[in-house]
Structure 1
Amino acid sequence: MGDACTLRIALVTGANKGIGLEICRQLLEKGITVVLTARDETRGKTAVRKLRDGGAKDVVFHQLDVADPASIASLKEFIQHQFQKLDILVNNAGVSGIELEAEALSGFNKKENHLESLVPVMIQQHEKAKECININFYGTKRMCEAFIPLLQLSQSPRIVNLTSVYGKLKVIPSETIKRELRDADNLTDGRLDNIISSFLDDFRTNNVLKDTWPTDLSAYKFSKVAVSAYTRILARKHEKMCINCVHPGYVITDITWNTGKLTVEEGAKGPVMLALLPDGGPSGQFYFETTLSSFE
Structure 2
Amino acid sequence: MNSVLITGANRSIGLELVKEFSKKGLFVYLGTRDLEKGQAVVKELNKSGFENIKAIQIDVTKPDTILAAKNIVESEKGKLDILINNAGISGEFPQSALDTSIKDIQNVFDTNFFGVISVTQAFLELLKKSETPRISNITSGLGSLTLHSDPAWKYYNFKAASYVTSKAALNAYTITLAYELRDLPFKVNAIDPGYTATDFNHHSGPGSVESAAAFIIKHTFTNEDAPTGQFYSNDIEDATGISPW
Cα RMSD (Å) of the superposition? 2.0
Show the counterpart of 2:120. Answer: 144
Deviation string, structure 1 residues 149-186 (Cα, Å, up to 9, x no partner) = 1000001000000000111123666xxxxxxxxxxxxx
CA–CA distance in 1 between the matches of 2:22 and 2:118?
Answer: 25
Does residue 262 (structure 1) correspond to residue 207 (structure 2)? The answer is yes
Show the counterpart of 2:51. Answer: 57
SS in 1 for 2:219: helix
CA–CA distance in 1 between the matches of 2:37 and 2:171?
Answer: 29
Structure 1 residues 124, 98: closer, same or farther in 2, change over 3 A? Answer: farther
Show the counterpart of 1:279. Answer: 224
Q: TM-score, normalised by structure 2?
A: 0.88
Structure 1 residues 249, 129: closer, same or farther in 2, change over 3 A? Answer: same
Show the counterpart of 1:198. Answer: none
Q: Which runs of 5+ in 2 are unaligned?
A: 150-156
CA–CA distance in 1 between the matches of 2:214 and 2:145?
Answer: 24
CA–CA distance in 1 between the matches of 2:195 and 2:158?
Answer: 20
Give the counterpart of 2:165 among 222, 240, 243: 222
Q: How many residues are treated as equivalent by the alignment?
A: 230
Shift of 1:92: 0.3
SS in 2 for 1:287: strand
Q: Which moved more, 1:285-294 or 1:141-150?
A: 285-294
Correspondence 1:98-247 to 2 at 5 A: 98-99=92-93, 124-170=100-146, 216-239=159-182, 240=184, 241-247=186-192
Larger radius of gyration: 1
Shift of 1:98: 1.3
SS in 2 for 1:43: helix
CA–CA distance in 1 between the matches of 2:218 and 2:43?
Answer: 25
Shift of 1:58: 0.5
Q: Which runs of 5+ in 1 are unaligned?
A: 1-6, 101-118, 174-213
Tell me, yes or no, if the aligned pair for 1:13 and 1:20 is still in contact at 8 Å: yes
CA–CA distance in 1 between the matches of 2:41 and 2:244?
Answer: 33
Tell me, yes or no, if the aligned pair for 1:98 and 1:124 is still in contact at 8 Å: no
Give the counterpart of 1:26 among 11, 20, 29: 20
Shift of 1:222: 0.5
Shift of 1:99: 4.3
Percent sequence identity over aligned pairs: 34
CA–CA distance in 1 between the matches of 2:214 and 2:222?
Answer: 12
Shift of 1:293: 1.2
Give the counterpart of 1:14 among 5, 8, 13: 8
Tell me, yes or no, if the aligned pair for 2:142 and 2:148 is still in contact at 8 Å: no
Structure with bigger helix share is: 1
Give the counterpart of 1:66 among 37, 53, 60: 60
Deviation string, structure 1 residues 71-125 (Cα, Å, up to 9, x no partner) = 100000000000000000000000001147xxxxxxxxxxxxxxxxxx89xx954
Structure 1 runs (4+) greater than 4 angstroms displaced: none
CA–CA distance in 2 between the matches of 1:99 and 1:44?
Answer: 28
